[in-house]
């Protein structure tokens, strides 16, 4: 099989060109044509030497992902379903706003973490995406959107690794993809505008701080280990004390001086005043500068969960803000096309018996962690 040039960051492409007997500046030219201009045909890369244009088709190609479906929400959100082969497909979402355009990118076909409130986790896990498959989502979306909006200017200003999958469990493909997103010859994103979201893979958080420190969002969702063990099973391996310590270690290298904690609001599970108090105590005890992003739960079939009421979410945010912790409530976007947070599912040939595991855990959560009002004494 010929090499796919989307798999390479600039250093990797330079090494590839060197093996062809070409100098580094040829790699830079190729990189710009592919990522900045969205060109896939070598014959259209007019400033390459003719001999190189004739050589390249025999050894490599620019191979994107086939688009299976495209859906456009009433609020302008766009969701694509990309075919990644073997019966698997992943979803990517563009969220337009007045001051930015954000692309939510997938890193795996499915997810092995299995968070209770996430549709992807209920589908199970098939495989990691390659670096080229991660970048192909941005490559297609950026150049499709330029055509759609009839502009040569960059449309996507922010990328969040918050689609299908746990990015830090696909570290080897993630980092080259991030480097392409950041490279001035590629997409030129700011480190502050490129966010990796993790459920708390502590060793990889440490590695990311050294290899490619970008903005970090941590899927917290619970203020104590007992509850988080059930909502985010990875907590059993990396409990809150270890996770908070890793957050503190990440900050010196981070482009922002705080960690964003994502917190999905689940009715009667993690949304009571006691939970807010415990969150304040948790971050203060560990001295983690942070902000909270409260996410209204977006329902999906068989979740067994409900979204907290608007008044409850508002009161929860006010309680955290009153304690001096900046807290926002995420605006739901694209829910009419199942593109909202936690709803991405795609098509996954599960290899992990996720359906059985989730059914067992639904019963455990209902028995163990659902909050009950205290009786008055």
* C-beta atoms surrounding 2 within 10 Å: 11
Which long-range CB contacts under 8 A does 147-153 form with residues at least 24 apart? none
Q: Dihedral of the CA atoms 187, 193, 196, 197 (nearest 10)?
A: -140
Is 91 assigned a catalytic role? yes
Q: What is the distance between the alpha carbons of residues 333 and 298, in angstroms, rounded to a whole number?
A: 10
Give 206-228 as a DSSP string.
HHHHHH---EEEEE---SSHHHH
Q: What is the distance between the alpha carbons of residues 306 and 299, in angstroms, rounded to a whole number?
A: 7
Q: What is the distance between the alpha carbons of residues 338 and 73, in angstroms, rounded to a whole number?
A: 9
**What's the CA angle centered on 296, arms 292 and 301, to 5 degrees?**
140
In the numeric block, which tokens belong to residue 152?
Answer: 């040569």
At residue 345, the 3 state secondary structure works out as coil
The alpha carbon of 87 is separated from its chain's Cα centroid by a whole number of angstroms, namely 22
In the numeric block, which tokens belong to residue 192?
Answer: 């502050």
Q: What is the distance between the alpha carbons of residues 311 and 294, in angstroms, rounded to a whole number?
A: 13
Q: What is the distance between the alpha carbons of residues 205 and 246, in angstroms, rounded to a whole number?
A: 7
Give the DSSP letter of residue 297: -
φ and ψ of 291, to 5 deg: -130, 155
At residue 368, the 3 state secondary structure works out as helix
Is 274 assigned a catalytic role? no
For residues 250 and 205, the answer to whether their CB atoms sit within 8 Å is yes
- Choose, from 17, 22, 60, 91, the residue flagged as catalytic: 91
- Comparing C-alpha atoms, which of 113, 54, 115 is closest to residue 269? 115
- The residues that are catalytic are 91, 341
């Amino acid at each position: 099989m010929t090499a796919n040039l989307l798999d390479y960051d600039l250093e990797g492409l330079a090494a590839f060109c060197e093996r062809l007997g070409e100098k580094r500046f040829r790699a830079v030219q190729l990189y710009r044509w592919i990522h900045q201009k969205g060109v896939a045909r070598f014959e259209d890369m007019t400033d390459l030497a003719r001999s190189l244009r004739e050589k390249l088709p025999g050894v490599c190609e620019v191979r994107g992902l086939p688009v299976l479906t495209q859906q456009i929400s009433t609020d302008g959100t766009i969701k694509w379903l990309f075919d990644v082969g073997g019966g698997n497909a992943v979803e990517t979402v563009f969220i337009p706003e007045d001051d930015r355009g954000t692309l939510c990118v997938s890193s795996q076909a499915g997810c092995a973490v299995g968070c209770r409130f996430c549709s992807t986790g209920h589908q199970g896990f098939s495989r990691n995406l390659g670096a080229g498959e991660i970048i192909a989502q941005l490559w297609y979306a950026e150049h499709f959107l330029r055509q759609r909006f009839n502009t040569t200017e960059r449309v996507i200003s922010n990328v969040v690794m918050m689609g299908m999958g746990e990015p830090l469990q696909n570290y080897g493909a993630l980092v080259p993809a991030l480097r392409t997103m950041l490279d001035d010859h590629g997409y030129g994103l700011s480190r502050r505008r490129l966010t990796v979201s993790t459920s708390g893979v502590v060793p990889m958080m440490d590695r990311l701080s050294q290899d490619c420190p970008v903005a970090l969002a941590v899927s917290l969702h619970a203020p104590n280990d007992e509850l988080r063990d059930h909502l985010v099973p990875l907590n059993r391996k990396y409990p809150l004390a270890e996770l908070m310590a890793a957050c503190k270690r990440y900050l010196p290298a981070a482009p922002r001086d705080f960690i964003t904690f994502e917190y999905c609001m689940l009715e009667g599970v993690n949304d009571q005043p006691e939970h807010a108090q415990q969150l304040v105590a948790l971050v203060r005890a560990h001295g983690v500068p942070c902000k909270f992003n409260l996410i209204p739960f977006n329902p999906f079939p068989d979740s067994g969960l409900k979204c907290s009421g608007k008044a409850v979410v508002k009161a929860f945010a006010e309680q955290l803000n009153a304690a001096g912790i900046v807290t926002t409530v995420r605006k739901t976007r694209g829910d009419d096309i199942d593109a909202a947070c936690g709803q991405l599912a795609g098509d996954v040939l599960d290899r992990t018996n996720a359906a059985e595991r989730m059914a067992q855990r639904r019963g455990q959560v209902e028995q163990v962690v659902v909050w009950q009002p205290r009786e008055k004494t």
